[in-house]
Amino acid sequence: MDTIAAIAAGGNAPCAIGVVRVSGPDCFRLCGQVFRASKPFGELEARKMVLGEVLDAQGRIIDRGLAVRFPAPHSYTGEDCAEIHCHGAPVVLREVLEALFAAGARLASAGEFTKRAFLNGQLDLTQAEAVIDLIDAESAAAARNAAAQLDGGLRRRLEPVQDALLEITSRFYAVVDYPDEDIEDVRPEEITAALQEAESRLAALLNTCRRGRVLKRGVRTAIVGLPNAGKSSLLNVLAGYDRAIVTDVPGTTRDTVEETVLCGGVLLRLIDTAGLRETEDLVEQQGVERSRRAMESADLILMVSDDAVEEAHCSREYREEFRRLLREVGGCQTPWIFVASKRDLSGRTSEAARRIDGDARNRPAACVSLSALTGEGLEELETAVAALFPAGDPAESGGLLTDQRQEEAAGRAREAVCRALEALQDGLTTDAILTDAEEALDALGELTGRTAREEIVERIFSRFCVGK
């Protein structure tokens, strides 16, 4: 395997510190041509920062910095690995990289360092995926979960299932292959117990999918309401700046506007939609249609209503449009929160907002009253959102399924275990039962990387950045 190098930190813009990472069999020799210290690079103390001179391809000093070497197998990649830390000027980092290329290294591809760690047994696939999840984390909760998964949290949760299935399958084949040996036959009750335990654990694991997706991707949240209800004002106050244009003119928002915010510790991907009403304006019609599609695909709906408008002073058309929208939102299967806006003008609390609670088939999860101008009532909204998307047991951190690939593999494993249990109940032979158990093991192996196909591995690491 050849030696690879890449800029791991800095490079695109000036920064305080830049890092160049190197890995491969010729790592220390190449680094010795680029970094000059009191000793030859290969003789430097392992895992200890050393001060020295950073050289370009012609051997000229371009910086003074630090270097550290990680001899195999005790390194990130499992190979000889090193890092050169220098000032973060892009030109300096490029010169260091060019010097390494001149010495014989090549540019690492996206995710190649982590891929080598996986291939060398330093990480399984769930841990490798946790690396990119940690880099991409947009909330503290997501970062904590990714860090725990990188520490092997999901692997440890899968091990009891794998061990139980391996125990019954290996003993069965041992008896078949070595009939003269004194090996105890696997008993039906042992098979039943192992399969039931596996099914229970896999079912519990699959129940974490929703929380895992929320942590990783956030909650797709549609803000809907009639024109001028206060939707854009709500988006702006949650975002902390004027993300959307706000005017007194109905129909100001013609298209969906998106923003990512933290609300009650939950990552919300807010979609401010055009006011949902019947209109002759062709441009506004397209905005209304996009709003409906956003609502249909949302994980959460915030229905905003102008609580400062007295019903007695509303037109008949306005009241009809409000009731129609209420029916439309309430008819969805998506959880929703009723938000009475402009509390600073109406003076009404959240208790008054609960008047609509019985007007829809799918009742709102909560009714809150708030003011985007003063911020009053925002805490109630945060509480309602946190109740809908709870953080879960902290002990589960790192043991959540966070993407579709993981969910599909765990789902196939559970389906195979369920088929094995059905075959057992139907009185099928042990070998037929254990065929399904082996399918479950294959699916779990795909999840962790033990039996993952090459295209799956390539797809996972293609998401990484160069230098990681």
Q: Do residues 423 and 414 touch, judged by C-beta distance below 8 A?
A: no
Distances (CA, A) of 316 to 23, 305, 323: 72, 16, 11
Give the rounded distance of the alpha carbon of 225 from its chain centre: 30
Q: Determine the Cα–Cα distance for residues 325 and 315; give it in Å rounded to an integer.
A: 15
CA gap 29, 32 in Å, rounded? 5
The confidence score (pLDDT) of residue 200 equals 92
Are the C-beta atoms of 135 and 152 separated by less than 8 Å? Answer: no
Q: At what angle do helices 188-206 and 430-448 cross, to 10 degrees?
A: 30
250: confidence class by pLDDT, cuts 50, 70, 90 = very low
Which pLDDT tens digit goes with each residue over 152-167? 888 888 889 888 888 8
Taking the C-alpha atoms of residue 290 and residue 235, their distance in angstroms, rounded to an integer, is 17
pLDDT digits (tens, 9 = 90+) for 102-119: 999 999 998 899 999 999
pLDDT classification of 87: cutoffs 50, 70, 90? very high
DSSP string, 275-324: P-S--S-HHHHHHHHHHHHHHHT-SEEEEEEETTS-GGGS-HHHHHHHHH
Domains of the chain: 4-108 (3.30.1360.120), 130-208+402-454 (1.20.120.430), 220-388 (3.40.50.300)
pLDDT at 210: 84
Maximal C-alpha separation, the chain = 93
| Residue range 275-321, pLDDT digits in tens | 554 554 544 455 566 667 777 778 899 988 876 565 555 667 777 77
Question: Do 371 and 230 contact (CB within 8 A), yes or no?
Answer: no
For residues 361 and 445, the model is more confident at: 445
pLDDT at position 256 over 60: no
Q: Which amino acid is at 48?
A: K
Closest by CA to 122, choosing from 74, 70, 71, is 74
Cα separation, 73 vs 71, in Å, equals: 6
φ, ψ at 210 (rounded to 5°): -65, -45
Q: 364 CB contacts (<8 Å, ≥6 apart)?
A: 303, 330, 336, 337, 338, 356, 357
Cis preceding-peptide flag for 73 (omega within 30 of 0): yes
Q: Output the pLDDT for position 175.
A: 58
Say how many C-beta atoms besides its own lie within 10 A of residue 200's C-beta.
Answer: 13
